Structure 1
Amino acid sequence: MSFRCGPCDRSFDSDKALQQHARDAPAHAPSFNCRPCDRSFSSDEALQQHLQDAPAHAPSFNCKPCDRSFSSDEALQQHLRDAPAHAPSFDCEACDRSFGSEDALYQHLRDSPVHAPSFNCDDCDRSFNNEDALRQHLRDSPAHASFFDCAPCDRSFNSAEALQQHLRDSRIHQQDTETSLDIFFSSFPTFDYDPSLPPATSYASLQKHKGWRRGSAASADAWARYQEALESELHMWYGAENDLTAWHALCRAIGVKPLPRTCEQCEETVRRTHVNIIDLIEWGRSNSEKKVQTFRDVAELRAYTKETRKIFSNTLDEEDGNVVLRHLLRKIFKRP
């Protein structure tokens, strides 16, 4: 019987001889290999000693930006901390400049004319140092003046208020224009109606002319139509409460100067005013430059209204009463 050693391709007479051969032959000595070096060692201790001592196997700590290696992490950190190439950089992208600290960058942004805040007028392609300067430019520059045209006159005005004033004052626009009150009074052919008189005066004359008695059907019908005409005049002279021009007309009537800039500011300014509604209608119809009389409180207004019989009985404080004067309505004949 033969006992073969495969690696050596040798045969032995007994297993004991084969084992002796496997134990003692140099070819079968254990091998401990260092793959990076392609070297073998007879023991693990020898291999570990080699890995520990050989420079090729020393731990490497690399700085990728510099393509440099260091023998310890401490050395790498020292390099990153001290090397100018790794100093923190604070960049101003607009200028393509870098600064050594955040404070230096902020100082640059604050002081450099290149970074001064700019307020631009797109229409003029001009820039201003602050918002107030830009607003003044927009307000005063002729290039930004808004023009409001009166087609019949072929004239232009620089504000809606100026146009409305023109339409109200110009005789050209009054010759063939009948208002709701004019139509109401003219519906009585035998009544000698004078449009220049206050509406309350004309209605009192109409009552006397027609001989109406209080409570009669004709008197009640005429009164209702008169009140409808008054309400229509309110819309014509003062307009809707979301219209700044309407609010400015009201403010001019009661002498508010300077004119507030928004509808909300106008409302806040006039809502505590006590004024007779018929007086406001008369002011619109008469083109008067004199402001309408106002009163200290409701009691004074109530006394004036009863004495002059300048009564406006419509309830514009309802949701559908979208007119600026609804904020001035007061209860005259019925106490709250």
Structure 2
Amino acid sequence: MSYFDAFAGFEQKSTAPLATEFARLALSQGWKKGTKTWKNERQACMQTEFAHHVAVDNRLANWQSLCEEVGIAPTPESITKCKKQLKKVHVNLVDLIDARRAGTGKVRRFRNAKDLADYTRKSGKTFPKVKAKDDGYISILLRHVWN
């Protein structure tokens, strides 16, 4: 279930970027940017949308699919090898959600953590790390962005 489904009367554009849709929802709900409510709802939105569009269980085919999506080739033969390769990949988690929402397939991959951090800070496409560290799947792709 999408985060947006919980809001009666709000018709999300399922292929629109997550930030755009959250901004439209926040406006319709009267959540002012930067307030505690806005921050809590944004965090809930990110986590729910990640689970809805990206999260996979521990089936090899799902891990291999993620590896292919972020440009890992050849595709690893085990979950352990997938995780090992994914730890070396630098992708923006919000972009990953957006790629899944839009059905575009591939997500932009950065050369290193610094390039990813620069992009993330400039674009504002941050994923709340409060719960991210608890999820093994997210934590594999999570990178330090702020100094």
TM-score bucket of the superposed structures, by smaller chain? 0.7 to 0.9
TM-score when scaled to structure 1?
A: 0.39
| Equivalent of 1:237 in 23, 44, 54 | 54
Q: Is residue 2 of structure 2 the alignment partner of residue 180 of structure 1?
A: yes
Structure number with the bigger relative contact order (C-alpha 8 A, sep ≥ 6) is 2
Instruction: Determine whether 1:204 maps to 2:19.
Output: no
Kindly tell me: are residues 302 and 209 of structure 1, through their superposed partners in 2, closer, same or farther at Cα, counting changes over 3 Å? Answer: farther
> How many angstroms apart in 2 are the aligned matches of 1:331 and 1:279?
16
- The 5-angstrom pairing of residues 117-156 of structure 1 reads none
Aligned to 1:309: 124
Which is greater in Rg? Answer: 1
State the AA in 2 paired with 1:247.
W
Aligned counterparts, 1:249-288, within 5 A: 249-288=65-104
Establish whether residue 223 from structure 1 lines up as the match of residue 42 from structure 2.
yes
* 1:294, distance to aligned residue in structure 2 (A): 1.0
Deviation (angstroms), 1:229:
1.3
Corresponding letter in the other structure for 2:101: R
How far did 1:192 drift? 4.5
**C-alpha distance in 2, partners of 1:213/1:301?**
28
Q: Secondary structure at the match of 1:292?
A: coil
Q: Which string of whole-angstrom CA distances, capped at 9 and with x for unpartnered residues, describes residues 4-41 of structure 1?
A: xxxxxxxxxxxxxxxxxxxxxxxxxxxxxxxxxxxxxx
1:211 Cα shift? 4.7
Which residue of 111, 129, 134 corresponds with 1:296?
A: 111
Distance 2:94 2:34 in 1: 22
Aligned residue identity for 2:102:
S
Q: Percent identical across equivalent pairs? A: 26
- Whichever residue aligns with residue 199 of structure 1, its letter is L
Q: Could you give the per-residue CA deviations for residues 150-188 of structure 1, whole angstroms, max 9, x where no partner exists?
A: xxxxxxxxxxxxxxxxxxxxxxxxxxxxx323425xx15
Kept in 1, the 8 Å contact 2:43–2:128? The answer is no
Taking only aligned residues, the RMSD between alpha carbons, in angstroms, comes to 2.4
Return the TM-score normalized by structure 2: 0.80
